[in-house]
C-alpha cells in the first residue's frame, strides 16, 4: 500500500520542482522586475534579475528591507488596492544603485502568495519616455515652423494688397502738388503743404512695407541629403496617437533603396505632415473605414510621394484652385496650408499635384533625386 502512495508523492514532488525551476528560469529571463511584499511593505520575494533595472542584487534588495527603499514612499493606497484588486500604470522616477535615475512603470496586484499580499511588477520605460519627449519636441518644432510659414504667407499677401493703394496715394499726391504749382501762390501754398505731407507719409509707409516684406521672407533653406522614406516614417510616428484617436489607419508602401534627395528636412517634413493631417480631417464625416496610405516610388530621375485617403475627395469646383492662397473646403480653414506646401515643394525644384481617385483625394509630390 505504501509503495504506490510514495511513488505518487515522488511524482508530485518532481512535478512541483520542475514547475518551480520553470518559473525561476522565466523570471530570470524577462526584463521586468518582480517583487512580492506584505502589508507592511517588507519584501517576501525578489526576482533574480532585479539588477537589470535597479542595479541591486536580490540579496541587496532584501537587505534594504522595505518596498519604499526601492520605489519610494506612498506608492499606492492600500484601500484602493483592496477595493480594485489591482492598480495599473503607476509611473515613478526612481534612483537606482550608483545614483542614476530611471522611470519605471509599475503594476500592483493583491495576492496571497509566498507570505506576501502585494505583487509588484516593474518595467523600465526610461528610453520610451525620452522618445516621447523627443517626439513632442519635434511636434512643437514642426508646428512652430508651420506657424512661421503661415505668418510669412499671410504677411506677404497683406503687403501686396496694401502696396498698390499706397502707390496710388503717392502718385496722386505728386500729381496734386504739380497741379497746385500752377495756381497763384496765395491759393495753393496751404494745399501744397498738405499734399507734401501725404506724399511723405505714403513714402514712409511704403518703406515700412518693404521692411515687412523682408521680414516675412522664409528663412534660408538648409538643404542636406535626405532619405524620403525616413521623413515619411517620422511623420507617421508623429501622428500615430492622433490617428488612433480619430480611428484612422495609416499605412506605408515604401520603395526600398530610394536615392536621397537634397532637401530642407524641417520644411519638407512640414509639407508631409500637412498633407496627412488634411487627409485625416477630410475623413471626419466618413462612417466606414478611414485610411491614409503613404507611398514612395522612383519615377525616372525623381522620387515621388503620394498621400491618399478614403474621404469624400476634393470638391470639383475647388480642384483647379486647390493650391491657391485662401482657397479651402474647411469650414474654419483659411486656405494657406496647401499654398505653403506648394511654395516649399517648388523651392525644392519639385512639383505637387492633386486629384480625386476612385475613393478619396490623392496628393503627389515629385522631387528630383540627388546625383
Say if residue 156 is in the same domain as residue 253.
no
> What's the order of all strands across the beta sheet hosting 116-124?
43-46, 33-37, 116-124, 101-113, 86-95
Who's near 229: CB < 8 A, 6+ residues apart? Answer: 254, 255, 258, 296
Q: Is residue 25 part of a domain?
A: no
Residue 108: strand pairing partners: 87, 120
Say if residue 207 is in the same domain as residue 162.
yes
Q: Is residue 270 part of a domain?
A: yes
Say if residue 62 is in the same domain as residue 144.
no
Say if residue 58 is in the same domain as residue 114.
yes
Number of Cβ within a 10 Å radius of residue 11: 10
Q: Is residue 68 part of a domain?
A: yes
Say if residue 236 is in the same domain as residue 351.
yes
Say if residue 151 is in the same domain as residue 106.
no
- How many domains, the chain? 3
For residue 300 the three cell numbers come to: 525616372
For residue 148 the three cell numbers come to: 512661421
Helix (H, G, I), strand (E, B) or coil at 223: coil
Q: Where a domain ends, among 173, 196, 216? A: 216
Q: Is residue 8 part of a domain?
A: no
Residue 189: give its domain's CATH number. 1.10.287.130
Q: Where a domain ends, among 95, 124, 153? A: 124
Q: Is residue 23 part of a domain?
A: no
pLDDT digits (tens, 9 = 90+) for 65-116: 889 999 998 899 989 999 999 999 899 999 999 899 999 999 999 999 878 8
Mean pLDDT for all residues in the chain: 81
pLDDT digits (tens, 9 = 90+) for 197-229: 777 767 766 766 665 565 455 556 788 999 999
**8-state DSSP, 263:** E
Say if residue 188 is in the same domain as residue 228.
no
**8-state DSSP, 320:** G
231-248 CB burial, b ≥16 within 10 A, e <16: bbebbbebbeeebeeeeb
pLDDT digits (tens, 9 = 90+) for 294-349: 999 999 899 999 999 999 999 888 888 888 866 666 655 556 678 888 888 998 99
Say if residue 75 is in the same domain as residue 117.
yes
Distance CA 223, CA 213 (A): 23
Say if residue 235 is in the same domain as residue 358.
yes
pLDDT-derived band at 363, boundaries 50, 70, 90: very high
Residue 294: give its domain's CATH number. 3.30.565.10
Say if residue 350 is in the same domain as residue 245.
yes
Residue 78: give its domain's CATH number. 3.30.450.20
Say if residue 210 is in the same domain as residue 92.
no
Say if residue 300 is in the same domain as residue 324.
yes
Q: Is residue 289 part of a domain?
A: yes
pLDDT digits (tens, 9 = 90+) for 259-268: 999 998 888 8
Q: Where a domain ends, among 173, 190, 216? A: 216
Q: What share of the chain is helix, strand, coil (3-state, %, to 5)?
A: 50, 25, 25
Q: Is residue 161 part of a domain?
A: yes
This prediction's pTM:
0.49
Q: Is residue 17 part of a domain?
A: no
For residue 204, what are the domain limits?
129-216
Please give the pLDDT value at position 290: 92
Amino acid at each position: 500500500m505504501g509503495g504506490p502512495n510514495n511513488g505518487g508523492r515522488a511524482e508530485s514532488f518532481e512535478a512541483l520542482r520542475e514547475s518551480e525551476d520553470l518559473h525561476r528560469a522565466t523570471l530570470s529571463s524577462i526584463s521586468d522586475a518582480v517583487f512580492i511584499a506584505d502589508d507592511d511593505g517588507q519584501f517576501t520575494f525578489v526576482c533574480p534579475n532585479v539588477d537589470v533595472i535597479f542595479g541591486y542584487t536580490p540579496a541587496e534588495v532584501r537587505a534594504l528591507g522595505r518596498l519604499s527603499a526601492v520605489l519610494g514612499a506612498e506608492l499606492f493606497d492600500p484601500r484602493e488596492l483592496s477595493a480594485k484588486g489591482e492598480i495599473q500604470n503607476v509611473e515613478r522616477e526612481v534612483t537606482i544603485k550608483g545614483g542614476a535615475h530611471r522611470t519605471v512603470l509599475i503594476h500592483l496586484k493583491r495576492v496571497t502568495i509566498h507570505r506576501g499580499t502585494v505583487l509588484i511588477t516593474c518595467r523600465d520605460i526610461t528610453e520610451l519616455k525620452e522618445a516621447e519627449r523627443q517626439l513632442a519636441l519635434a511636434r512643437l518644432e514642426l508646428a512652430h515652423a508651420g506657424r512661421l510659414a503661415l505668418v510669412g504667407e499671410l504677411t506677404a499677401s497683406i503687403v501686396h494688397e496694401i502696396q498698390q493703394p499706397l502707390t496710388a496715394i503717392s502718385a496722386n499726391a505728386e500729381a496734386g502738388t504739380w497741379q497746385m504749382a500752377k495756381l497763384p501762390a496765395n491759393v495753393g501754398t496751404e494745399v501744397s503743404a498738405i499734399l507734401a505731407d501725404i506724399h511723405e507719409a505714403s513714402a514712409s509707409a511704403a518703406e515700412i512695407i518693404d521692411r515687412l516684406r523682408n521680414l516675412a521672407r522664409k528663412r534660408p533653406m538648409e538643404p542636406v541629403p535626405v532619405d524620403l522614406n525616413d521623413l515619411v516614417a517620422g511623420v507617421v510616428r508623429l501622428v500615430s496617437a492622433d490617428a488612433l484617436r480619430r480611428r484612422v489607419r495609416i499605412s506605408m508602401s515604401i520603395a526600398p533603396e530610394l536615392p536621397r534627395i537634397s532637401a530642407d528636412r524641417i520644411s519638407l517634413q512640414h509639407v508631409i505632415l500637412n498633407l496627412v493631417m488634411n487627409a485625416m480631417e477630410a475623413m471626419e464625416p466618413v462612417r466606414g473605414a478611414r485610411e491614409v496610405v503613404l507611398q514612395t516610388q522612383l519615377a525616372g530621375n525623381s522620387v515621388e510621394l503620394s498621400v491618399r485617403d478614403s474621404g469624400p475627395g476634393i470638391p470639383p469646383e475647388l480642384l483647379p484652385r486647390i493650391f491657391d492662397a485662401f482657397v479651402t473646403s474647411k469650414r474654419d480653414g483659411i486656405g494657406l496650408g496647401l499654398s505653403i506646401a506648394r511654395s516649399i515643394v517648388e523651392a525644392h525644384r519639385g512639383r505637387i499635384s492633386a486629384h480625386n481617385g476612385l475613393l478619396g483625394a490623392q496628393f503627389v509630390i515629385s522631387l528630383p533625386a540627388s546625383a
